[in-house]
Structure 1
């Protein structure tokens, strides 16, 4: 099998790796495995049900104890089914008259003999219409007794003809195909088999096609990935349902109750069968434990249960990884194995039905078989990684290939252990790998290598992060899947097709001298996650060694290593610092040093943020990075020895804004008059087009009037800039924030509060729609905000909200710190805590009640972590002294703690 199939890693313990898909213990358990369910002769049905309930509870307690002691999960599933069988048969004998023409079957998962602690108990009563009518009362009594006994049985009562009719629904057919007799003679069993026979309904090929499509649709509901933060163990890609699907297809196509006989038919390798059984037990143990910790039939591995399940299964934190991360990594790797083998088997079933078409030769070594790429030599690849690289080169050159042929995929998986890592490979092989990165579809090639285990063999450090999750809300993918998402984003930049999500990426990409260097940086940027220490520094070491080994020049090697080490620099600068400050731009430009590095770093940063979470990238971040890129490029062109001074920046911005106003027909004299009403600091901190827009907003407004203007950011639907000019009054900033948050459902990304002449304020905000289902437009925001500010501000108060479920498991101890601004006039307040809806409104409300003035705000959210920075002063427009800081710290702490408890 592949590297992940064979790798010795921490796994859930299972005792019997030889059992087939169906649990033999259901029919013939060993005597020592019997779990007694004693039912005394009860005087009435209520007493009987109570005794049955107690007996089942006792049985479950014993089984659960054995589970915690590490007993084989397959045996436990069979024993629980056996215990329920005992109750059902006793109830049937008590309620149904002897000789009645009725038969009872277990169907679905219960029929398969896999009964998890809280799984459904699906039953089928086979009876003709007259028998159904005659036994209506006994059957009603039976199901009432079962319900009272705690068995929430789902049942269907059908005649043979009704079974055939119901089987038109492929789900119903599938459930009945796994029927196991509980109280049914051979004639009843034969009747049911005949009712759903493929000669009557759903011939094998049609069944295969329908089930294949059903699986594709099911996978699509989960984003076609098993690497979700809260995966579904049963129905998600690579979950137990994928294994069940293979079993159902084998049953319908070949009449096989287990997958093992497929080996003799040539459809399944011995190693593949062993891997499927191993992963089935791994997944079954996770699901069994999940039912126990959840106390119900929970199939989704939610944050609520991940830590408690990991602890119950014996996973402990170590110096590098949390126990929950170790458990989840085991799941993700198991799901990947199931998906790989599932794909191969589906392809072999397809060939069974449609036949093997004549191959289409591509070159002397490879051909297409029914559209799938295959090696022509049956002994391929003979442990030679050069042959494997040749396969990927041909695959990249023939995008029409449907995928890798199953026999070639299996041969590749079997050869993986013999393939060398790059350190042990020859220079020629290393150059061959680099040629793949310089050839067609390099990212697609890396994805294919990763999925089939080749990349992990060539680059062992990548294998270490395969399936590695990070227990937070910032990283919604495993490290390897995040890395591949970053590479896909880079590939989209190279496509030449503009993407509205990225303002400049497609313009910058053509400037790259060697795009493969950026791909290497993307491949290595997170490769050292989970090792302890700074992953950026450790990853840079790995990247430097890899590049040197692959004969990259010293300059190219250092560029890749620098990008890996500094891959967070641009993101942190843009989101946490004031990039309108010339000093910030100068520091960043000095760290970058040249425009080549800037181009590479900008693209890597965009791809990294957008590849971390679908919700993380937004119009504000795009604009922020584009502004930082543009300002830095200008600074580098000017020369680092000639930093822009404040006076020069003000003059440039004022002149550029005046030119924009002139283009709108506003004369210079009127522009000067409008500029005189604006804060001097705004000409230092804001862009010319912002200044022109704000000045034009003041045109015609009387002194002392409140002006509210909103515009949508160009090219970014759902992102707005909000400008408020008004006479200052206590609590104004907080009132604006609360209105934007509570009334309009807008998430504030950046806020700036400047003091204008004559006691006025010039507040600006960049906001995005927090909920796409409710998306107010610019005009609606203007009207609503203006109306709110026209009344008493004290009536505008933040609403109390319940913390979302997923945030309750990621509590961050609040960190509140103070510093003094560079000019010594104001305090810099930083708040780090768990994010939640309405947090910024609550913080602003506290500042309002403390009668503090807010001059600037930087709002940054990283998953569950909020990092907000405020530039504040007291009522005297001075920095806070120690007593004032302590009072504010206590008030903020109380507000944060109080809301988190809610």
Structure 2
């Protein structure tokens, strides 16, 4: 394949002319030839070995040219991936300059010239210079170095140097098979932990992520160390793998190699991450040419996830094989559990190879036993293989078998290990077989910035989050959830709700409604009562409603609480829904969760709880609620005279007292009375640790630019507005309460930062004219990729209100709220309330608005003009 390029560099070295230019050009040509062969679907193994072979020739020719002839004191050795004879387009070429003695200086000039030559021709060379003794010393201390040294290959110089090194690093000299295995296993565990044990991250690392190439290399390293074999064929020879498993392993490796190869060619660097902005190109290279880019990417990524799941399965089984072979006490006797299962050396196994054939329900019984016996560390390799090879037994007859159904429901009623075993069931492919609808979401990607896991991974994360509420060690993490979950008598209903809440994703249609039907049928099929089946089905159908209500509705409004309570109906359903909602938001993307969302949801929970206690047929008397809040606020304002407070409160309508908490009313009143403000804007800032946000209170003249200028100022300060309430008093002043967060989702804590915010706000909102929009900031990498949400606006009227509700959906971007505020000013629209919601790449904001005379915006022409103004401002920016 690369014979022309090899011949070209050979001629250049022989003639000793234009070496740099020729070798640089040949190195570039190699990449282009490889690209052409990749497009022709040449076997990926051929491409990877071809680049390594060309590099061998180049290094050997350069060595002969630059290094002293016939010197037996130094050798050139390939290590690591290059030592295995594997080179991707932009992989580093790692070499060891192996010395017989500590005489580095004798070769310093020649080596410097050699390495400089490699850099000059564009070869990414990684090199170390060591004696044999230095190699041994460092390898003895460092698992990474011994791993590199067991993958060595002679390139140039005396072969005996490398042979001596290889003899001195054999398992009987340093790093026995047992210590090497344990160290590599721990290394893999820590690496997986770094990636949150999630192979199904939506931007996976092809090399380092769980199920990736490192997991395959892990198998190769242990095989090499234990069997002294350079080939994975040893796994077949020693019956660690069947021929089908071996073929599956090689197929997965070649797929991942091809993905990595395409990534390197596309990015022109050693890029190992399958980022969103590369996925379309890689999908196309794999033949996914769907007219919908999203479908093409999701189709390719599903194939990717299936391959890495297979790698994870084989990695687990093979490492268990090695564990039994290397570490186990071969004299230990099995301890019987029942006629089907026994424990050997703390690992579960079947009593005979035909257990599953004779008694298919044992396929689920195995996982049930693992939840019941905390002394069991895992499953023996031979049993893992038997489970995988008997998956075909899980058919309709199996699902209809009462014992199978009982095993599954009993598993969900255990107090230990449910999440671990459902993950294991998913890894072994049993969960998809037992619940076919779950099989449809395995590896199902959601190509957006909001979800960071595949649907099956997200589902199991939600289940894990729910389980953590029950564990005393995690009580401080979510104290409210940990307290509420103690009130539930049937935790399995919550687990089923978690398992089914997204099961209909990707089918088209309303996944909540479709999932509800699946959940109900499953529950009935598994012997749950009608009441319990209905709770699970309702949970699945309603799993988004609490999040939407808390984040997009004004939950200070009694009408909103009454409406939500009417949907929930009972305290039991409220408890289940609250717990599932918290677990779901955290399971979508851990970074999305913050104390503000926690406080919103718990506030909605408490308000709904009170409404349910009061009775759904009993409406809240708003005037009584206002009086109660005023009494409670007065109790907090003991340092002020009642006439002062009364004078202020007489300027405020009931709406103010309904939309603010007792603490907020007392805070506002205290700040206004203490400042005796007249014309200068009053600005006060308070970080609420319980609510998880920072409140900014602005008391100022009711200017038409006020909201827009405030948004511009806060944008300049790099603060995220998540809530805004604006009340106009009878004296022409407005009480504005903004809740903001830093970009990292935390409240403001630094005093100098607070002072800077106050100074900036006073400077900008004190102006009569609209401030200039802040300089546009660059979009993040992800925002650039997903910045394609078309702007949509919906308008609703609020019953018995002078307010119009405007829902705005558009692409998220820096400075968005400043743009929105500018449009409101230009269209003579007043903002009374705002709920700001960011969902990955797009926002879903709710604004409660009126015209400048505080009347609802109902005229069709005015609404269309407002709509057009937003389209022009947002879709052009």
State the secondary structure of the residue aligned to 1:840: helix
Aligned pairs for 1:435-450 (under 5 A) are 435-441=410-416, 442-450=418-426
The worse-fitting range, judged by mean Cα deviation, of 393-402 and 177-186 is 177-186
The worse-fitting range, judged by mean Cα deviation, of 813-822 and 547-556 is 813-822
Q: Does 1:427 align with 2:402?
A: yes
From 708, 722, 732, the equivalent of 1:734 is 708
State the secondary structure of the residue aligned to 1:174: helix
| Shift of residue 393, structure 1, vs aligned partner | 2.5
Contact 2:722 2:739 in 1 (8 A): yes
State the secondary structure of the residue aligned to 1:589: helix
Q: Does 1:831 align with 2:808?
A: yes
1:855 equivalent in structure 2:
832
**Residues 632 and 748 of structure 1, relative CA distance in 2, 3 Å threshold:** same
From 789, 797, 800, the equivalent of 1:813 is 789
Contact 1:320 1:531 in 2 (8 A): no
| Shift of residue 316, structure 1, vs aligned partner | 3.2
From 384, 405, 409, the equivalent of 1:409 is 384
2:251 equivalent in structure 1:
278
- Which whole-Å CA distance do the structure 1 matches of 2:14 and 2:232 have between them? 47
**Residues 496 and 99 of structure 1, relative CA distance in 2, 3 Å threshold:** closer
Aligned pairs for 1:467-616 (under 5 A) are 467-495=443-471, 499=475, 502=478, 504-616=480-592
Contact 1:816 1:829 in 2 (8 A): no
Tell me the number of residue pairs that the alignment of Structure 1 and Structure 2 aligns.
862
State the secondary structure of the residue aligned to 1:757: coil
1:721 equivalent in structure 2:
695
Contact 2:368 2:408 in 1 (8 A): no
- Which whole-Å CA distance do the structure 2 matches of 1:398 and 1:895 have between them? 62
| Shift of residue 456, structure 1, vs aligned partner | 1.5
Q: Does 1:122 align with 2:97?
A: no
Q: Does 1:327 align with 2:300?
A: yes
- Which whole-Å CA distance do the structure 2 matches of 1:225 and 1:701 have between them? 54
The worse-fitting range, judged by mean Cα deviation, of 85-94 and 292-301 is 85-94
1:375 equivalent in structure 2:
350
Contact 2:312 2:427 in 1 (8 A): no
The worse-fitting range, judged by mean Cα deviation, of 346-355 and 63-72 is 346-355
Aligned pairs for 1:633-652 (under 5 A) are 633-644=609-620, 648-652=621-625
**Residues 347 and 813 of structure 1, relative CA distance in 2, 3 Å threshold:** closer
1:109 equivalent in structure 2:
81
For residues 290-315 of structure 1, the C-alpha deviation after alignment (integer angstroms, 9 at most, x for no partner) is: 11111211111111211111112111
- Which whole-Å CA distance do the structure 2 matches of 1:663 and 1:149 have between them? 76
Contact 1:826 1:878 in 2 (8 A): yes
- Which whole-Å CA distance do the structure 2 matches of 1:292 and 1:565 have between them? 45
Q: Does 1:418 align with 2:418?
A: no
Contact 1:421 1:460 in 2 (8 A): no
1:306 equivalent in structure 2:
279
**Residues 484 and 309 of structure 1, relative CA distance in 2, 3 Å threshold:** same
**Residues 115 and 328 of structure 1, relative CA distance in 2, 3 Å threshold:** same
For residues 525-557 of structure 1, the C-alpha deviation after alignment (integer angstroms, 9 at most, x for no partner) is: 111111222211221221122122112222322
When the two structures are superposed, what TM-score results if normalisation uses the length of structure 2? 0.90
| Shift of residue 67, structure 1, vs aligned partner | 1.4
**Residues 361 and 891 of structure 1, relative CA distance in 2, 3 Å threshold:** same
Contact 1:821 1:828 in 2 (8 A): yes
2:649 equivalent in structure 1:
675
| Shift of residue 190, structure 1, vs aligned partner | 1.9
Contact 2:2 2:30 in 1 (8 A): no
2:758 equivalent in structure 1:
786
State the secondary structure of the residue aligned to 2:590: coil
State the secondary structure of the residue aligned to 1:104: strand
From 127, 135, 142, the equivalent of 2:114 is 142
- Which whole-Å CA distance do the structure 2 matches of 1:602 and 1:761 have between them? 35
State the secondary structure of the residue aligned to 2:468: helix
- Which whole-Å CA distance do the structure 2 matches of 1:570 and 1:735 have between them? 32
The worse-fitting range, judged by mean Cα deviation, of 704-713 and 485-494 is 704-713
- Which whole-Å CA distance do the structure 2 matches of 1:869 and 1:604 have between them? 24
| Shift of residue 189, structure 1, vs aligned partner | 4.0
Q: Does 1:55 align with 2:26?
A: yes
Contact 1:753 1:854 in 2 (8 A): yes
Q: Does 1:73 align with 2:44?
A: yes
- Which whole-Å CA distance do the structure 2 matches of 1:184 and 1:727 have between them? 85
Structure 2 gaps, min length 5: none
1:10 equivalent in structure 2:
none
Q: Does 1:454 align with 2:430?
A: yes
| Shift of residue 320, structure 1, vs aligned partner | 12
1:90 equivalent in structure 2:
61
The worse-fitting range, judged by mean Cα deviation, of 760-769 and 378-387 is 378-387
**Residues 890 and 320 of structure 1, relative CA distance in 2, 3 Å threshold:** closer
Contact 1:810 1:864 in 2 (8 A): yes
Contact 2:836 2:846 in 1 (8 A): yes
1:18 equivalent in structure 2:
none
**Residues 592 and 564 of structure 1, relative CA distance in 2, 3 Å threshold:** same
| Shift of residue 236, structure 1, vs aligned partner | 1.5
- Which whole-Å CA distance do the structure 1 matches of 2:99 and 2:754 have between them? 69
Q: Which has the higher contact order (CA 8 A, sep 6+)?
A: 1
**Residues 320 and 452 of structure 1, relative CA distance in 2, 3 Å threshold:** farther
State the secondary structure of the residue aligned to 1:156: strand
| Shift of residue 480, structure 1, vs aligned partner | 0.8
When the two structures are superposed, what TM-score results if normalisation uses the length of structure 1? 0.88
Contact 1:35 1:59 in 2 (8 A): no
From 312, 336, 343, the equivalent of 1:339 is 312
Structure 1 gaps, min length 5: 1-31
**Residues 495 and 198 of structure 1, relative CA distance in 2, 3 Å threshold:** closer
Q: Does 1:207 align with 2:176?
A: no
For residues 41-76 of structure 1, the C-alpha deviation after alignment (integer angstroms, 9 at most, x for no partner) is: 469756123223333333332322221222211121
Q: Does 1:710 align with 2:685?
A: yes
State the secondary structure of the residue aligned to 1:856: strand
For residues 759-783 of structure 1, the C-alpha deviation after alignment (integer angstroms, 9 at most, x for no partner) is: 11111122333226x8632866654
What value does the CA root-mean-square deviation take over the aligned residues? 3.1
State the secondary structure of the residue aligned to 2:265: helix
**Residues 816 and 237 of structure 1, relative CA distance in 2, 3 Å threshold:** closer
Contact 1:831 1:869 in 2 (8 A): yes
State the secondary structure of the residue aligned to 2:210: coil
Contact 2:741 2:748 in 1 (8 A): no
Contact 2:834 2:848 in 1 (8 A): yes
The worse-fitting range, judged by mean Cα deviation, of 391-400 and 193-202 is 193-202
1:864 equivalent in structure 2:
841
Q: Does 1:619 align with 2:595?
A: yes
Q: Does 1:238 align with 2:238?
A: no
- Which whole-Å CA distance do the structure 2 matches of 1:51 and 1:565 have between them? 67
State the secondary structure of the residue aligned to 2:287: coil
Contact 2:5 2:29 in 1 (8 A): no
State the secondary structure of the residue aligned to 1:611: helix
**Residues 45 and 833 of structure 1, relative CA distance in 2, 3 Å threshold:** farther
- Which whole-Å CA distance do the structure 2 matches of 1:46 and 1:301 have between them? 42
| Shift of residue 809, structure 1, vs aligned partner | 0.8
- Which whole-Å CA distance do the structure 2 matches of 1:226 and 1:356 have between them? 32
